[in-house]
Structures are given as structure tokens and as C-alpha cells.
Amino acid sequence: MTIDLYPSRVKSRPEILERQDPVVYPGCEDKGPLTREQLNFYEKNGYLFLEKFFEDEEIRHFRDEMKRIWRQCRGSDAPEVIKEPDSDEVRSVFAVHRDYEAFRKLARHDKLVAAVRQILGSDVYIHQSRINFKPGFTGKEFYWHSDFETWHVEDGMPRMRALSCSIALEPNYPYNGPLMVIPGSHKKFVSCVGEAPEDHYKYSLRKQVYGTPDDESMRRLVEESAIEMPTGGIGSMLLFDCNIMHGSNSNITPYPRSNIFLVFNSVENKLVEPFSGKKPRPEYLAHREYV
């Protein structure tokens, strides 16, 4: 039985705990495209925004594929296809690196993987992949959360040694519901209140209810720091720590805010049994086999 360093959803009162893990792991810092300043920024703030990382042609290809997948999934009732809470629009498609060649290649992209290794300090694999479509007009908010909180409790990810990579496939503006992050919040762990029901993921991907931080903890995190909205054009990329507090407002503009989302986990941080004691979520949400 692995020790639970980050208990959550077990107490009746929320609590803010200190992070027990490094942010930038030693070993590979010098072997990739990220500079020392960029790694320092990431260590301090928990994220790094890169306006241009891929070739234009690569991004064009991802966009074409994204549009094709969108059309293909609109009528689908596959479990990988998640709809908006109040409409039948596609919100996300999961396991895209498993099911689509373009994203299988992206998950093994030399430059990207090298950058991720610089931060996580080891070989890595994909814990989760998805396209978020966040359609225009009807895109609802994603409430504040730490991804790690869910991955730890529901998937059994033992330590904070994972990161997300979000690549904009449409322009991100301040007004089309871009991701908001709280710099520095990755160094705190907000232990959430309440026990999630069995098969929680069936509802939480449309609208999260359990595993969300309480208002008072959120106020504290924001007061001690700020809210940042790293926005940029098509192809811009955000790398962010698995434990940074983030969320996004709704999007009533006509501009969709699609992005491709890859979660890299260290091979030294393989999943164990979920710390909730419940059965693990399906493979397409938390890969236990390297794909």
C-alpha cells in the first residue's frame, strides 16, 4: 500500500497542504529546447507559455485532424466523446493519441518530449490525451481544480511528477474562455471536502462537483498570488504542472477555443490503486498501459 501524501475528499473540512515533491526534477535540465530561465519560471509559477513551439505545417495538420475528428464525433456515443452539460455539442474527445495517427505522432514528438523530460527528469508516457473543443456560444466554464487532485484520488497517481501540455488550435482571446492559472498555486495542495460517488467521472467530465476547492481556499490562493490568462495565437503552447490551480470561464463569443491536450507522466510515477479505494477510471481517461 502506497502512503497517501495528498489525502483529499476524506475530511469534512478543507485544508491546504504543502507540496512534498520537486517541481523541476533533476537529471535532464540541459538536454532540451527549454532555457534555464524558462525552467526557473516554470519552477516558480507552475506554468510556461510558449508563443511558438511547432512548425506552422505541423499546426496546420493538427487543425485539419481536429476538424475531422469534430465532424466524426458529433453523432458519436462512444465513451471517449464528452458532450457539453447543457447541449449536445462535443466538449472533449479523449484518448486521441491512441486513436488518431496525427496525435500518436505528437505524443512522441522529439522536441516536445525533450522539453517535458527537462521538467520531469525522466522518461515519460501519456497519462491522458484529449481535444477540448470549447465551442462558441455555448462553451461552459471549467471550475477551478488541480488536475493532480483528481488523478491522485481517482486514478492512483502517487506523486506530483506529471504535467499538461495544451496546444491552441484556435486563437485564445481574453474573452473566449481561456485558461486561467494561479501562479505558484502548484506548491500548495488543496485537500477537498466530500466523497465522490462511484463512477464519478461519468458526470464530472461534463461538470465537476466533487474534487473542487472550497471558496475560502480559493480566496487565499488568489490573494497570495494573482490570476493569469496566458493567451496567444494558433499553435501557442502552455505547459503546466499537474497541481496548478486552474479553470476557465464560459465562452459566449462565436470563437471556439479548441485545443489539444496531452498529459505526460514520469515513468517513475506509475499509477497505483486509486487513493479513493474505488475502482480505477477507464483506460481512455487514465492510461495504465503505455500506448
Query: What is the closest distance, in whole angstroms, from the C-beta atom of residue 178 to a second copy in the complex?
Result: 9
| 231 versus 269: smaller Cβ distance to a second copy | 231
The answer to whether the CB of 248 falls within 8 A of the CB of 178 is: yes
Of 122 and 253, which has the nearer Cβ to a second copy? 253
Sheet holding 246-248, edge to edge: 142-145, 246-248, 179-181
Identity of the residue, 96 or 192, whose beta carbon is nearer to a second copy in the bound complex: 192
Plot region of 116 (φ>0 → left; ψ -120 to 50 → alpha; else → beta): alpha
Please identify, using beta-carbon distances, which residue of 122 and 138 lies nearer to a second copy. Answer: 138
Contacts of 35 (CB under 8 A, 6+ apart): none
d(CA 257, CA 210): 25
Which CB sits closer to a second copy, 158 or 230? 230
What is the closest distance, in whole angstroms, from the C-beta atom of residue 219 to a second copy in the complex? 5
User: Which among 233, 240, 263, 261 has a CA at the least distance from the CA of 52?
Assistant: 233
How near is the Cβ of 290 to a second copy at its closest, in Å? 35
Minimum distance from CB of 209 to a second copy (Å)? Answer: 12
Say how many C-beta atoms besides its own lie within 10 A of residue 72's C-beta: 13
User: DSSP code of 182?
Assistant: -
Distance in Å, CB of 162 to a second copy, minimum: 24
Provide the minimum distance between the beta carbon of 248 and a second copy in the complex, in angstroms, as a whole number.
8
**Euclidean distance between CA atoms 85 and 68, whole angstroms:** 23
Site residues, a second copy (CB under 8 A):
136-137, 140-141, 143-144, 173-175, 177, 180, 215, 218-219, 222, 227, 229, 247-255
Give me the helices (H) in 14-169, please: 36-45, 56-73, 96-99, 101-106, 110-120, 147-150
Residue closer to a second copy, measured from CB, 106 or 182: 182
